[in-house]
Structure 1
Amino acid sequence: MKRLAPSLLLLLAAGAAQGAALPTPAQVRAAYRPSDAVMLDRHGAPLQALRIDRQVRRQPWVALADVSPALPLALLQAEDQRFMEHGGVDLRAMGQAAWDNLFRRRPRGASTITMQLAGLLDPALQAGAGGRTLGQKWDQVQAARALDAAWTKPQVLEAYLNLVSFRGELQGVGSAAQALFGKAPSGLNVAESTILAALVRAPSADVALVTRRACALAVELHAATPCRDIGMTARLAFARQVVAAPLPPARQAARQLLRGAGEQVRSTLDGALQRHAQAVLRQRLMALRGRNVNDGAIVVLDNASGEILAWVGNAGGSEVDGVTAPRQAGSTLKPFLYALALERRLITAASPLDDSPLALATAGGLYAPQNYEHDFKGFASTRTSLAASLNVPAVRTLLLAGQERFHERLLALGLRSLTEPADYYGPALALGSAEVTLLELTNAYRALANGGVAGDAVLRAVGGGQAAGPARRVFDAGAAFIVGDILADPAARSVTFGLKNELAATYWAAVKTGTSKDMRDNWCIGWTGRYTVGVWVGNFDGGAMWDVSGVTGAAPVWRDVMDYLQRGQPGTAPRPPANVLRRQVAFQPALEPPRAEWFIRGTETAQVTLPGGEGQAPGIVYPVDGSILAVDPDIPAARQRVFFLARAARGLRWQLDGEVLGGVDESAGWQPVPGAHLLELVDAGGKAVGSTAFVVRGQD
């Protein structure tokens, strides 16, 4: 006997404890729980069913009016021919059964449908391994009489059809009709109905026995259905794979929301968008299959509310959820780094950044970042460095802004996957060496879309008890605006990506791609005025892709989803906040053509001069004042080096703790010594023109 829903068992136990009458049909129906939970989309339409109860398979309760008349006729013929006449107990059938049990070799039962229902409703009446005791049979008779007196015949039959087990884990007519015949109970024909009626008596019988019984029932019902048709239907039904009713795929999102069997939870997802995003991802992965790209994920957020409008955990062929799986971020963290430097007024969008070879001493040895195209641009403005995703300028900006401070800002954005301290990631944090999830990263970009204000992403619809939480300012509004303007600038990104690519939308959109080390992860994340879309493609097993960049991998998916969202909408640029202004700027020498540039108020300039040129004061770039450097005990002391960096320092020398180390152009590096140190830039006369204090930590 299959177990009942927990809520129904509690209802019956409570009635028994109180000595009350049997539950009413309404109480039984209210306590009934399907084995699946259903997630609804934001419009209330079913989006994804998820199996919760693994003991049985139950569909939603089926009203008797929604069951084909052929099934009740077959069931009454097989189980209870005088159902409409007796008062819950068929005395004639009981007498005949007693006679047969005494004098015939094949005993028979006399339980009416009402008696069987009493056994289904009351666990105390369910048969043990040796059958029911005499006491149980007497109680079952009394319960059946009470049921017949309190319930109508249709109510008894409806409850029985929903609670009886048909085969294996299939309980109730809804699950049996769907699993065995792939249809609703209303569509059952005579052959299918006789098969189900035969299964009630022997749910585990083989196909031959079920066919013989079903054929006999058809003859008794004077049905025109040939026995060969019943046999074919039975064989096909028993060979059919038990599957849930098809629904649009949102399995990973459903796992975040659904907990209890039978519940229906309204999500924030948009069903049409979810289906479109899933289809787009599948098509793109098929196109990239020859480049060893097998998996992907998509998240779509509403900028204003933080509601998750689409959650595609994978393309449908895996149980892994790519939305919540941590992966290396690649260049997708650069916008937050530049926003931090802009906010602290360490740079402007026009500041020249040095894109030349760089080698830094780290715990793992020398760190020498290179650009995607394995070349160097010399000097490039902040706008070009970010839009074209140049690596060396990003690392230099990290040294300028402070690694610890950048790490803290990423945590404030909600990147909880960064579980290690800042020095664990080293300068490679600027290039996305840390692992993040697609949901966290996309929601962090939403903070830029909202002018630097962050908030939690939400999957449960309003009224579900889950709030987005308070909004929090993470970046200055001016810094966030300038970063967005840079990421929406097709001319600035053309240095690396060219003018014609998937990032160049016909509407205003700020977007950034990223590719992790060895091409294992591929990202494209961007926003418009209303939406933020994040896409990841790669391989869940960590395998490297073959010559796939953000523009060729994730970007086409991002563009297709964003085009779908922006259809019929202009997608205009955001209004500048009060603390930014636009000024014409020129470069000396002509590093880049003159242009109108955005500045945070107070940092504007009409002319930008390259480091080392007129108007630039000498200074120390790395280490910044107050830095703490660590000696790695796993690296031989003789191999550890720190490389000092300076600007506008031609002809100057390094002086450490009063001792001259050599010219700034010498790159042998300094072997770190534990303790506090004072680093100075000195001229030929020994006069200090710049200084910084730092500490080297030794072994504990």
Structure 2
Amino acid sequence: MSRRRRVLAIAAGTLSAVLLWAGVWVALPLPRALTSPPQVASVTLEDRNGLVLRSTRAGDGSLQRWLSLAEIDPDLLEAFVAGEDHRFYEHHGVDARAVGRALKDNLRARRVRSGASTITMQLARLLRPGAGRTWHGKVIQTFWALRLEAHLSKQQILEQYLNRVPLGQGTVGVDAAAALYFNASATRLSLGQAALLAGLASAPSTDNPFVAPERARSRRALVLGRIGRYGYAPADQVDRASREPLVPARATPPFLAPHFTSRVLQWLDTSAARGVWRTSLDLPLQTALEAEVRHTVNTLSDRGVREAALVVLDNVTGELLAWVGSPDFWADSAGQVDMVVSPRQPGSALKPFLYGLAFDRGYTPASVLPDVPRAYPTSTGPYQPRNYDRRFHGPVRAREALASSYNVPAVELADRVGAATLLRVLHGAGFGSLTRSAQYYGLGLALGNGDVSLLELANGYRGLAASGVWRAVEWRSVGPGQRSAGDRRFISAGSAALVLDILSDPTARIPGFGVETPFDFPFPAAVKTGTSHHFTDNWAVGVTGGFTVAVWVGNFDGQPMRGVSGVTGAGPLLHRAMLVTARRHAPGELPSPRAAGATRARICALSGLRATAGCADLDEWFLPGTTPQKECDWHQGGVVVWPAEYVEWAEQNGKAAPGETAAGERAAGETAARGGGAQFQIVSPRSGDRYEIPPGIDSRYATIAFRAATRPADGPVRWFVDGRPVSQPRWALIPGSHVVRAVAASGASDEVLIAVAP
């Protein structure tokens, strides 16, 4: 016998033995316990004080009620067959046509992408869990499906499946799911309700209406389409079912803190978790804040506001103290949308992280930033940022620019430090929803053009209160002195303290918000607002030493509000929420700049330099090594000598009295003649600026912008670093001390000294 024949004989014998063994195994009787009604584990969620929020037990206290097939609504049977296995009554456990299609898809994808699981195979997986979405797992499910089909009728298989299938939020079986989602029994459901439950079978944790209403709506539409296609219901009945609300309105909610507990059950592995879980939620606080959210929506309804959300964190432990995802979870429209975790554009609420980065780069609260018209080249054309009030404010100190939330200085600052570096800091602060590249966001990232969630925003601000260190939030109750595991620093403790000091400064926010705002509290608190483009989203965050509150006001569908800003929309809700929270949780003290090593110095309110006799002066905090050494040279001879980049602004805005600009120019000319300076000057970088190359950042993105203030007569500007010419407008950082020199075609020149940390 040839070798080939021997191999074929051995293969044929092996295959025959396998088939014989499989046939015998399939013919063996099923274990009696296999199809007995299961004992489903119960999960009970309590608040931090032991008050019950939610239990997966049924209303009568039982874990599950087993329904015979005759008791289950026929619409449910048809919905599951149409949605999961429309050839259920034709095959014997394995759908050969579906297997062929799945093999083609999986071989093309080189992984198990399409499972071709029949209802019988799904039942096999429920009865014998452990086989995952792998080739080996599918083979095991196939053999068990054949065995089940050999011993059970189609009706028995369907009854077993419908009573065992998990349908989200800890529910097992169609009756438990009907009770939870519809406050009804599986013995009597509408076609739309039946289609919704059938749509949950493939992804119950992520597609259920309490966690993802839009995905649940899409799955329901898919099942309804199949019901119509396979002739289980006429078109007009399918159309009516598609317009049913996802979940009905209820007079009495079946559980408390619905968005929070729905999210916790999603985080928990409810197939393995059981027993009582003590959560971090403070139920009395939660109840009070739910009422405040509803009050806000009612008050602002005439301005086109329909939704609001809120979250409260304990700053020390990271515990979630309150979580309100919408005004009414049980509303028949979109109440199940959870804005605590749904990303939207935060507007100016990201600016504090930009300024914290800048302070780590050597900027100070006294650094003067230009709030003047300026265009930035982008791939889509020139970008010209504008302030909320549509005005330019000339030279503004960083303290005033951040507290008053000016856009133009923020974009200039982002250009100087780099969008890539800012994105790295935001990732460090926990903004995982920012998944695009720095090139995609561009300088608009400083103004919040990337989507983030309310929970990310709250925890990022909590990181500021934790001296610039990010830690994960905790949904479980944490004992005194315990902290969440894992942390990372995104800015220094000194920079975080300066940011919070600015955000808690009521005087610094007056130019942008006026004297009367909802951000004054009887305890120390740092506050920031944000409004997205076209007034679609309002945000406000309040930070104390003890807790952080973040709120959102807007519309789930993105419809713009009418004349609602962070001060008039989210601001009042934040104010009330902060006061309510402070009654139950001590506000504490914010980190002090002094504790971080900062000292105070007297500066000129206009130039940010050391004050002289002619200056309107004030005190400012400076981290070690950043106190200005240069005396103010803007005030000379009783007039203001405006730096070149501000002369036009001063003239247009009446900031220079008649003849003052000319007098200032003469004074400047005299100063220049004495070797003291000139109108042509470098404005980026500034002399004395210090930079650090962020670890892990591509050297292409660790750059700074070169910019000089010029007059038309100066002509083009050439740049030199340590005497070597630089042809690009941005320069890649190199460790060490460097002299940056700018030379205009007119012969005017200026130079600054900067340092780059190794």
Structure 1 segment 16-35 matched on structure 2, within 5 A: 32-33=39-40
Provide the secondary structure at the position in 2 that maps to 1:595: strand
Residue 619 of structure 1 aligns with an amino acid whose one-letter code is: I
In the alignment, structure 1 residue 40 sits paired with structure 2 residue 46: yes
d(CA) in 2 for partners of 1:242, 1:128 = 39
Structure number with greater Rg is 1
Q: How far apart are 1:179 and its partner, in Å?
A: 6.7
Please state how far the C-alpha of 1:645 moved relative to its aligned partner: 3.5
Deviations 1:574-607 (A, max 9, x none): 3332421122222466999422211111111375
> Superposed, which structure 2 residues align to 1:26-425 within 5 Å?
32-33=39-40, 37-49=43-55, 59-61=60-62, 246-255=254-263, 256-260=266-270, 263=274, 264-316=276-328, 317=331, 318-345=335-362, 347-425=363-441
Amino acid at match of 1:247: F
Partner of 2:545: 529
Say if 1:619 and 1:649, in contact at 8 Å, map to a contact too: no
The AA in structure 1 aligned to 2:743 is V
Among 684, 690, 698, which residue is 1:621 paired with? 684
Compared with structure 1, are the counterparts of its residues 573 and 596 closer, same or farther at alpha carbon in structure 2 (3 Å cutoff)? farther
Residues 570 and 436 of structure 1: CA distance in aligned 2, closer, same or farther (over 3 Å): closer
The 3 A distance-change label for structure 1 pair 521 and 285 is same
In structure 2, relative to structure 1, the CA distance for the partners of 1:282 and 1:490 (3 Å cut) is same
Give, as a single letter, the amino acid of the residue that structure 1 aligns with 2:379.
A
Of the three residues 601, 625, 628, the one matched with 1:605 is 628
The alignment of Structure 1 onto Structure 2 pairs a total of residues equal to 481
The 2-side partners of 1:281 and 1:593 are apart by 44
Would you say the 8 A contact 1:37–1:258 is kept in 2? Answer: no
Contact kept, 8 Å, 1:654 with 1:681, in 2: the verdict is: no
Once residues 130 and 566 of structure 1 are traced to their aligned partners in structure 2, the CA distance between those partners, rounded to angstroms, is 59
Deviation at 1:516, TM superposition (A): 0.7
1:193 paired residue number? none
- What letter matches 2:604 in structure 1? A
| Counterpart check, 1:654 vs 2:655 | no
Q: Could you tell me which of 554, 560, 570 is aligned with 2:570?
A: 554
- Take 1:605 and 1:622, find their aligned partners in 2: how far apart are those partners? 15
Task: For residue 557 of structure 1, report the CA deviation from its aligned partner.
Answer: 1.4
Q: Deviations over 1:144-203 (max 9, x none)?
A: xxxxxxxxxxxxxxxxxxxxxxxx9668xx99xx979xxxxxxxxxxxxxxxxxxxxxxx
Distance 1:283 1:616, change over 3 A: farther
1:468 shift after superposition: 2.9
Residue in 2 aligned with 1:65? none
2:495 alignment partner, one of 462, 469, 479:
479
Retained in 2: the 8 A contact 1:653–1:681? no
Residue number in structure 1 paired with 2:618:
595
CA 1:280–1:58: 2 relative to 1, 3 Å: closer
Does 2:456 align with 1:455?
A: no
Could you report, residue by residue, the CA deviation over 1:434-478 in whole angstroms, capped at 9, with x for unpaired residues?
A: 111111111111111111111111213349xx9833222221111
Q: Offset at 1:271?
A: 0.9
Residues 317, 483 of structure 2: 8 Å contact kept: no
Give secondary structure in 1 for the equivalent of 2:420: helix
Task: Check the 8 A contact 1:40/1:266 in 2, yes or no.
Answer: yes
Offset from partner CA, 1:610-648 (integer Å, 9 cap, x none)? 57278889325289999969xxxxxxxxxxxxx973258
Structure 2 CA distance for aligned equivalents of residues 510 and 129 of structure 1 = 65
State how far apart, in whole Å, the 2-side matches of 1:241 and 1:285 are: 18
Percent of aligned pairs with the same amino acid: 38
Question: 2: CA distance between counterparts of 1:556 and 1:284?
Answer: 8
Q: Secondary structure at the match of 1:492?
A: coil
Using the size of structure 2 for normalisation, the TM-score is: 0.56
Q: Distance in 2 between matches of 1:493 and 1:242?
A: 44
Distance 1:691 1:330 in 2: 34
* Alpha-carbon shift at residue 267 of structure 1 (Å): 1.7
Match of 2:534 among 495, 512, 518: 518
Which one-letter code corresponds to 2:622 in the other structure? F
2:601 is the counterpart of 1:583: yes
Which amino acid is 2:742 matched to? L
**Structure 1: 5+ residue runs without aligned partners?**
1-12, 18-22, 52-56, 63-122, 132-167, 181-239, 630-642, 659-669, 693-700
Instruction: Give CA-to-partner distance per residue, 1:350-387, whole Å, 9 cap, x none.
Output: 12211111111111211111111111111111111000
What's the CA shift for 1:558?
Answer: 1.2
Cα deviation, residue 302, structure 1 = 0.7
State the superposition RMSD in angstroms.
4.5
CA separation of 1:489 and 1:593: change in aligned 2, threshold 3 A: farther
Summarize deviations over 1:644-672 as a string: whole Å, max 9, x none: 732588974433589xxxxxxxxxxx999
SS in structure 2 of the partner of residue 366 of structure 1: coil
Partner Cα distance (1:312, 1:453) in 2: 26
Asked whether the 8 Å contact 2:714–2:748 carries over to 1, the reply is no
The CA deviation at 1:260 is 2.1
Q: Distance in 1 between matches of 2:718 and 2:50?
A: 69
Range with bigger deviation, 570-579 or 326-335: 570-579
Amino acid at match of 1:315: P
